[in-house]
Amino acid sequence: MPLDPRIAAIAAATPAQDYTTIQPDALRRYVEDYTPAFERPGPAVATRDLSIPGPASTLFARRYQAHPGQGLPLVLFFHGGGFVTGSVRTTDSICRAIAQEVPAIVVNAEYRLAPEHPFPAAVEDVRAVLAWCHAEAEALGIDPTRIAVMGESAGANLAAVLAHLVRDEGGPALRHQALVYPGPDASRSSPSMEENADGAFLTRESIEFYDRCYVPRVEDRKDPRVSPILYPSFAGLPSATIVTAECDPVRDEGRAYARRLEEAGIDVVLREYAGMPHGFFGMHALVEASEQAIVFVAGRLRGALIG
């Protein structure tokens, strides 16, 4: 199926970036500026900004609560942006929607960005965020036995890596992992990388830029914390939801990750959205598929966290 025509029109009107010359700060400003054009404001929910001690610096996060009560489950969310861009602001509407759909506390946490802070900085940060949330469960109003991790794009990779790390390091235990168009194989050798090399909003050229920034040492791209599909065992991981987009260069990486989970006997559901590009999950103002995907993921989170 071809790219959805509404998205194709927006993509054609969006200024192309030269990834051979662009500077990270300029790209971050660009992403912050264009994100509101794709969104509708999220629902009004109670929010509180947090300062979380990280391994090298204080990390900004935001807590969302739409449903009353204490001892609610936690959905820990990580933004996308190729490990170079993105923030709480660029994913605020997504987290509001998840908080509305799932009777849970959502914490949207930032992490250090590349190239100023290359791998493994982001991994170290999200591990610290999870540990802090677990330790501060009472203050956050969460049940520390009901935690899910969620992310989109780079954030999905971090969520996937966290699931492996906590399994191997003895916790905190996770109930679920929700991975929205992850790119868990830094070899970038899948057929969709060629098929969708000139994809809307994410191209092979831009992926190569992000990889150079985040993992400048090519040999590190075989580290499972960069390419979680390379973890030797998927046994004992939490249940999973994976969203892929048909017109996405990393589509086949998400499919392959779902297969690894399924082969290990993990409860995993993969849903692919026809005609959609990378990034569609946050495009509520453009396509119905965005809200449909949010409702789908929220339903899976409810099932894992509430029963």
For the chain, the domains span 5-12+19-305
Query: CA distances (Å), 177 to each of 124, 192, 272, in order?
Result: 18, 23, 17
According to the model, what pLDDT value does residue 306 have? 96
Residue with the bigger pLDDT between 287 and 110: it is 110
> What does DSSP say about strands 58-65 and 46-53: parallel, antiparallel, or unpaired?
antiparallel
Q: What is the pLDDT of residues 143-198, one digit of tens each?
A: 999 999 999 999 999 999 999 999 999 989 999 999 999 999 999 999 999 999 99
- Structure tokens that stand for 57 in this block: 């610096």
d(CA 101, CA 301): 9
Which residues, at least 6 apart from 21, have a Cβ–Cβ distance to it below 8 Å? none
Per-residue pLDDT for 302 more than 80? yes
Q: How many CB atoms neighbour CB 163 within 10 A?
A: 26
Catalytic residues: 153, 248, 278
Cα 156 versus chain centre, distance: 3
* Inter-residue contact 268 to 261 (CB < 8 Å): yes
Confidence band of 41 (pLDDT split at 50, 70, 90): confident
Confidence band of 16 (pLDDT split at 50, 70, 90): confident
Top-level class of domain 5-12+19-305? alpha beta
According to the model, what pLDDT value does residue 37 have? 66
Per-residue pLDDT for 105 more than 90? yes
Q: Which long-range contacts (CB under 8 A, 24 or more apart) does 157-162 make?
A: 157/182, 157/183, 157/184, 157/226, 157/228, 158/78, 158/111, 158/122, 158/123, 158/126, 159/76, 159/78, 159/126, 160/184, 160/228, 160/257, 161/123, 161/126, 161/224, 161/225, 161/228, 162/126, 162/127, 162/130
d(CA 75, CA 176): 9
Per-residue pLDDT for 286 more than 90? no
According to the model, what pLDDT value does residue 39 have? 66
Q: What is the mean pLDDT of residues 279-287?
A: 90
Per-residue pLDDT for 35 more than 90? no
According to the model, what pLDDT value does residue 11 have? 87
Q: What is the mean pLDDT of residues 225-243?
A: 99
DSSP state of 219: G
d(CA 244, CA 254): 6
Confidence band of 256 (pLDDT split at 50, 70, 90): very high
Per-residue pLDDT for 238 more than 90? yes
Nearest to 179 by CA among 105, 78, 89: 78
Which residues, at least 6 apart from 22, have a Cβ–Cβ distance to it below 8 Å? 209
Q: What is the mean pLDDT of residues 117-127?
A: 99
Percentage of the chain beyond pLDDT 90 is 89
Mean per-residue pLDDT over the chain, rounded = 96
According to the model, what pLDDT value does residue 53 have? 98
The overall pTM is greater than 0.75: yes
